[in-house]
Amino acid sequence: MDKILIKMQQIKALNKIPNDWDYEFSKNGISYNLSEPINKILSFHKAGIEMYPAFQDIYKAFELCSFSNTKVVIFGQDPYHQPGLANGLAFAVNKGKKIPGSLKNIYKEINDDIGECVYGVGNLEQWATQGVLLLNSSLSVNKSEAGSHKGIGWGILIDSVIHLLNIKGGVIFLLWGKDAQEKEKNIDQNVNYIFKSSHPSPLSSYRGFLGCKHFSLTNELLIKNKKQPILW
């Protein structure tokens, strides 16, 4: 099949959030309009601009972590804008790729906090399938242009996701860094939990991320609420 046709079909598939998310949005009367970001992506594609992650991976966070299974939310910023890295999960990289500095610090904190890091690979799919929604604030990015899709409309979807999780309740939000903490105003803290720290980037991890103990604190809350803890 023609590669251009395949990509156009993949773009068309972006009109619907996968897994049980679309059903839950509809059931709870929450609309999410994806026309703006999809139209922008389509215009970039027609202009020959390379984007990450691959179109079929843009909703990977939702594919691997269903609404019904979501227990923890970790917000990232952009997908990695270098070739071959982004896989659709915040902070994660494709299998076989070098572990980025932020993820190295995440693993370091897990080891210091819990005593061991069960999964040392970079794709983080094992976290997602356990109920950790690894959600970037922008679900796509142009090659070599950090923040290039920040204003194309993904924020409307992210706000709708938070609204839906407020209805669910009992969700633990890990807000690392200024961009993630901008989401705090939309999170209902009467029914959810929030842990905050600096970003795990090597440039800011020493300001509070290292030593935050968010991973043990998260598991303690999950156990308290009779939920399965995460194997970090």
Q: How far apart are CA 150 and CA 148, in angstroms?
A: 6
Interacting residues of 51 by C-beta distance below 8 A, sequence separation 6+: 41, 44, 45, 140, 141, 142, 143, 149
Interacting residues of 213 by C-beta distance below 8 A, sequence separation 6+: 109, 113
* 30 bridge partner residues: none
Residue 45: name the closest of 8, 90, 86 by CA. 8
Query: What is the torsional sign of CA 69, 89, 101, 193?
Result: negative
* 172 bridge partner residues: 72, 193
Catalytic residue list contains 78: yes
3 state SS of 133:
strand
CA dist 80 → 4, 87, 219 (Å)? 23, 9, 28
3 state SS of 172:
strand
Q: How far apart are CA 86 and CA 123, in angstroms?
A: 9
Residue 176: name the closest of 159, 155, 192, 200 by CA. 200
Answer yes or no: are the C-beta atoms of 117 and 111 closer than 8 Å: yes
Catalytic residue among 57, 78, 113, 179: 78
Active site positions, annotated = 78
